Amino acid sequence: MMSEMNINWTTNISYETSLSYLDTDDTLYQAPVMSRTGHTVVAIFLGFILVFGFLNNFIVLVLFCKFKTLRTPVNMMLLNISISDMLVCVSGTTLSFTSSIQGQWIGGEYGCQWYGFVNSCFGKYNICSSSNP
């Protein structure tokens, strides 16, 4: 009677999938979702975003440094957003652009994780700098 009370009737459903990123089994290979043409189209759009995003934010930075009359509190907030966007273009969009050209993540899964980390980090920086007056 006492031994029946010590039985643990709970289970952890997420245990099997919680460490799935540690699996190195090659049988889990998934076919590419996008065709080569799709990767090329995405790379072209990311290239435009990279070039124009960097240039526009760089122009904002140069104008802010050149004209001292632009140094108002509201413009400081816009400068923070511009710096954050420039950092996303340099670190995040560049990685995504080169990965789209290659058709897979540069650096494999770690490159994908780095891309997510960088974009969320600078995105949070952007939100925090925008919400604090």
pLDDT in tens, 4-37: 556 655 555 554 455 555 555 555 556 667 788 8
Residue 90 maps to a domain: yes
Within a 10 A sphere around the Cβ of 81, how many other Cβ atoms? 16
pLDDT beyond 80 at 133: no
What's the pLDDT at 54?
Answer: 93
- How many degrees, rounded to 5, is the angle at CA 89 between CA 88 and CA 90? 95
pLDDT beyond 60 at 131: yes
pTM of the model: 0.67
Higher pLDDT, 127 or 43: 43
Residue 42 maps to a domain: yes
Q: How far apart are CA 85 and CA 89, in angstroms?
A: 6
* Number of structural domains found in the chain: 1
Provide the domain limits for residue 96.
32-131
In contact, 70 and 119? CB cutoff 8 Å = no
